[in-house]
Structure 1
Amino acid sequence: MHDEELDIDAGLVGRLVGGRFPQWAGLPVEPFPSGGTVNAIFRLGDDLAVRLPRVPWGVDDVVKEHHWLPRLAPLLPAEVPTVLGLGEPAEGFPWPWYVYRWLDGANPDPAHLADAESLAKDLARFVAAFQRIDLPDGPAAYRAGPLPVVDADTRAAIGELEGLIDTAAATAAWEEALRAPEWAGPPVWAHSDLMPANLLVEDGRLAAVIDFATMGVGDPACDLIPAWNLLPPAARQTFRGALGADDAAWARGRGWALSMALIQLPCYRHTNPSIAANARHVIDAVLAG
């Protein structure tokens, strides 16, 4: 997916684990299929997973999650990754990596949600709990600044999608989002990447949230993106009502969902089918109104 991406295989992961964590040496290592773009995931035995950055811009996230996840976990109403060990560069692998407890569940499919209304309420509870967190010195969330910071990238992506989507409608929807009043409150904690690939469900209900690389503080509207990347229209309104999102926040959240999808689609349409498919879903959902 990226020119700078490292080639990581099970043999390398087994050597890294054996050298750093002898208590887990010899456990079977299997690559786990993932729609992620930054990290490689390997199953380690039955109860563990190894997560390794495969691009340079994912390196700082390892230490960030190792520091913040233990502090966030007790405050959230869903399981989050539990880091059990921080690995060091070795065996030719240049960056830190970590072992965490395996979390059961499956990524939700927007086209086949068992109980969209309940899932919408679960997601709202998670987002509301994140917003209530009062931990000082949080990092800036990746998508929690003002929308104009991604205006140039969003418009460039729209240009690349000429002939693939209704670019005039996408431009109009984006410009509408840009007109929304900016967040005027204090910085609030947010996950800022609540895509289906970062959610795990069991029996239709939210079981866990993973990949906290983008977490931090800022405008909480970025955590409204599941309204368009996952939920159907009726459950979308349930989600909004449970969070009490006003018109300005809703418009900014819609803008973030649209911008993410527009940028992802040309970037990943030939290299990451799952992200590309969800990006098309988001664009359709936003443009449908």
Structure 2
Amino acid sequence: MATLIAEQFPRWSALPITQVVPGGWDNRTFRLGDDLSVRLPSSSAYVLQVEKEQQWLPVLAPYVPVAIPQPVAIGRSTERFPLPWSVYRWLPGRPPSSDLIADDVQFASDLGDFLAALQRADAAGGPLPGAHNFSRGDSPSVYEAETFHAIEELGDSIDTRGAYEVWDAATSSRWQGPPVWFHGDVSEGNLLVDDDGRLAAVIDFGTSGIGDPACDLVIGIATFRGDAREAFRDHRALDADTWARARGWAIWKALIVAARFAGSHSPESEARRARRTIDAVLEDHRLAR
């Protein structure tokens, strides 16, 4: 990393470099000095996201009520690192734990307000669903084959009838309005809080785009509970069909993660979390009927 910086941005070559842990799945993140961060795509599958963030994050920033990443420079691909990469302003804060925010009404309200503001941003010319964001903003039906395969793999270990009901409800409607901006991966790892636990920033817009905002509601089903869940829903104010599609996005991801560990009796926290999400989605579906 030091050599890469020195070659392309010699003005920053004397700054200390520290790897950010956890650094993410799609990218490896490093802190560069006190005021900058560097993100390197972890594979060529994420290259399209680099230019997208460079182009659109400055456009979106004036519309939203909390900080989002601010691009400073873009690194070119070389033999040393054969993919484009980005330099951003460092955003202070820490990721919240799901246990801490699950019942936090203020946090849920603030996040709902952020997503509502993002949805109101000018979508003219924005990136439609596609390879750059793995079809976020499209119908969850694009992942139907994966979903059905995971349900079959999990078999009697889950409520298969309920899972199919959730999927049928999720794929029986489409977003009826014009395409709107969405983040695409609203999860604890992509949120930062300040010392008081308030939402301070939303990061990693790699799966962002314009289309159906249902994918941004997953956290309201999988993480928030009780009054926090109701506050998030109130601040999003989207119709029942959109929430049904959100349950589809939530159960798709949880099913494929749970199926990956099926039969292994793995203690992995990711597997346990996926099972909890499946249960939460099924319960949310039952309450919505």
**TM-score with structure 2 setting the length:** 0.87
In structure 2, C-alpha distance between the alignment counterparts of 1:115 and 1:77, rounded to whole Å:
22
Would you say the 8 A contact 1:35–1:197 is kept in 2?
no
List per-residue Cα deviations over 1:188-217 (Å, max 9, x = no partner): 111121111111112222111111111111
2:186 paired with 1:194: yes
Q: Give the CA deviation at 1:82.
A: 0.9
Paired residue for 1:255? 248
Among all aligned residue pairs of Structure 1 and Structure 2, give the percentage whose two residues are the same amino acid: 46
Q: Which runs of 5+ in 2 are unaligned?
A: 130-134, 285-289
In structure 1, C-alpha distance between the alignment counterparts of 2:270 and 2:23, rounded to whole Å:
7
- The 5 A counterparts of 1:1-289 are 13-34=1-22, 36-113=24-101, 116-141=104-129, 142-162=135-155, 165-179=158-172, 181-202=173-194, 203-267=196-260, 275-276=270-271, 278-289=273-284
Q: Name the stretch that deviates more: 198-207 or 277-286.
A: 277-286
- The one-letter code of the counterpart of 2:64 is L
Q: Which runs of 5+ in 1 are unaligned?
A: 1-12
Q: Give the CA deviation at 1:277.
A: 5.1
SS in 2 for 1:77: coil
In structure 1, C-alpha distance between the alignment counterparts of 2:180 and 2:246, rounded to whole Å:
14
In structure 2, C-alpha distance between the alignment counterparts of 1:265 and 1:104, rounded to whole Å:
33
Distance 1:175 1:279, change over 3 A: same
List per-residue Cα deviations over 1:57-98 (Å, max 9, x = no partner): 101111110111111111111111111111111252101111
SS in 2 for 1:250: helix
In structure 2, C-alpha distance between the alignment counterparts of 1:254 and 1:114, rounded to whole Å:
17
Q: Name the stretch that deviates more: 167-176 or 183-192.
A: 167-176
Aligned residues: CA RMSD: 2.3
- The one-letter code of the counterpart of 1:156 is H
Q: How many residues align?
A: 275
Distance 1:259 1:50, change over 3 A: same
Would you say the 8 A contact 2:103–2:227 is kept in 1?
no
- The one-letter code of the counterpart of 2:184 is S
In structure 2, C-alpha distance between the alignment counterparts of 1:45 and 1:280, rounded to whole Å:
40
In structure 2, C-alpha distance between the alignment counterparts of 1:46 and 1:229, rounded to whole Å:
34
SS in 2 for 1:161: helix
Distance 1:89 1:259, change over 3 A: same
**TM-score with structure 1 setting the length:** 0.87
Distance 1:82 1:240, change over 3 A: same
- The one-letter code of the counterpart of 1:34 is P
SS in 1 for 2:193: strand
In structure 2, C-alpha distance between the alignment counterparts of 1:186 and 1:52, rounded to whole Å:
33
- The one-letter code of the counterpart of 2:72 is L
Paired residue for 1:4? none
Paired residue for 1:3? none
SS in 2 for 1:93: coil
- The one-letter code of the counterpart of 2:107 is L
In structure 1, C-alpha distance between the alignment counterparts of 2:23 and 2:271, rounded to whole Å:
10
SS in 2 for 1:42: strand
